Structures are given as structure tokens and as C-alpha cells.
Structure 1
Amino acid sequence: MHSTFEAAKRLSSASWDVDDETLEVLGDRSVHMLDAQRTAVAKWVSQRGVKPQRVMGSPVDLVHLGETVRGEIVSIDVEQAQYTVFCASLGHVRQGVGTHGLIVDFERVHDLAAPAEAFTLEG
């Protein structure tokens, strides 16, 4: 999906006269496309019985911009199959103004393994 600005540039490059009305239509298009995507995802999640495998407060690892970051699940959007993950290392804030977490699909989140010293050999 292209942004309203990108779509307007493409139209202008193709010799269209892009005015305020055209920009409004393009902006509405983006909103309708996002709404349609959210509706389709919710239907897919419901039909397949997708459920979160983690609970709020769970420590997790995930890959963000090529780096593994550690975080904590702070909210769960069951309808969209997404977690919000708070990562202090990314400068997230728990309250007030700022980024509160990354919104990630269920399948991008991985449990943290227990530390090696937590394992014992059975004899």
C-alpha cells in the first residue's frame, strides 16, 4: 500500500492535476484499505481459531531491525493476533508521551529460554 503522498506523486508524474479534492480521495482510500485489512485479518484469525500463546507480562525476545531485543508483553490484541511488546532498550515508555511498545504479530514473538543453570540432569 502506498502512502497518500506517494500516490499523489505518481498521479502528478502521469500528468494528472492533483488538487485538494484528489488528496482527500487518496487519503480516504488509505483509511478504507486499512479498515478492509483489519476486517480481513480479524475474520482469518476467527476462522482459524488463532489464540495467543503468551500472557501479559511474559518476557520475550523478538527481532527488530535485524537485532534481537528483549521485551515484555504489555497488551494483547486477540482480534488482530498481535502483542504490544515494551522494550526498555528501545526507549519505550510505560506512561505518558512516547512509544509504549512494538506492535508485533503473534508469530514474531519468542519465549525466553530458561537460563542454563535452571536445567538439571535426571539420573
Structure 2
Amino acid sequence: MIQVFNEPPSGLQAAPHEPRILAAGHQIGLREVEFTHVSDKAELMLALLRGLALPGAFGHNWDALYDVLTDPGRTPPRLALLLRDYAGFRRRHPHLGRDLEAVLLDAQRHAAQQGRALWLLVEEPDSDPEAW
């Protein structure tokens, strides 16, 4: 398997084994978002707030999330989001998952245009890229 951090970010990607250690070794900031207990948009926004260590003033909406992810003053130039139990979340909440993916992928494209990198890494016990 190609080491994910040796290539530019490309959509949602399976997380490598030991993503925290690899990210640190490549000088990439890593934030983890846990989706296991997310059941609606409000809980999703709280999971993102916690995982991204956002201030309480975070707007709890898609535009605010996009703004945070594309703001060079708030995120490191090389950032990986580790999306934990994401496939399960997508199966439970397909519409919410599609909305979130649209924001994440738009932010990834915008980051690339700025010369920045935003990896979107899916961590699952039995990762199945087809499930995304």
C-alpha cells in the first residue's frame, strides 16, 4: 500500500495503520472526529467541534465548518482529519453523510488551490472503501 502522506490528498482515503505516528513523522497535524454516537446534525456539529478543537463560537453549520477548514489561521498547512467509524455513520445517516462529504471535499479542493493539504482519512475496524 502506498503511504497516504507521500501523495497529495485525494478524496476520502482509508486511514493507514498507525495514522497518528505517521502523521507526526510527516509533520502533519492530525485531528480525530468520532462518528460512533452521532445521530443527527446537532450531534455531528458537536463531534466536529470536539474533534477539531473549535471555539465555542463555532457556527454549527456547513458554512462555518467550511470556513474553519479553509482558514489558514485556524488550521495547519498540512492537516489530516481522522474520521472514526465514518462508514457506519454513512450507513446510518446517508443524507447527513452526503452533506458532510460535500463540505469536506470542497474544503480539500480549496486547500489544494491554496497550496495546502487536507487529508480525509477513514478509520474503520474493517475498512471498506466501497461503503463510502
Q: The TM-score by the shorter chain falls in which range?
A: under 0.3
Kindly indicate which of the two structures has a greater share of residues assigned to strand.
1
Whichever of the two has the greater Rg, that structure is: 1
Kindly indicate which of the two structures has a greater share of residues assigned to helix.
2
Work out which structure has the larger RCO, using CA pairs closer than 8 Å and 6 or more positions apart in sequence. 2
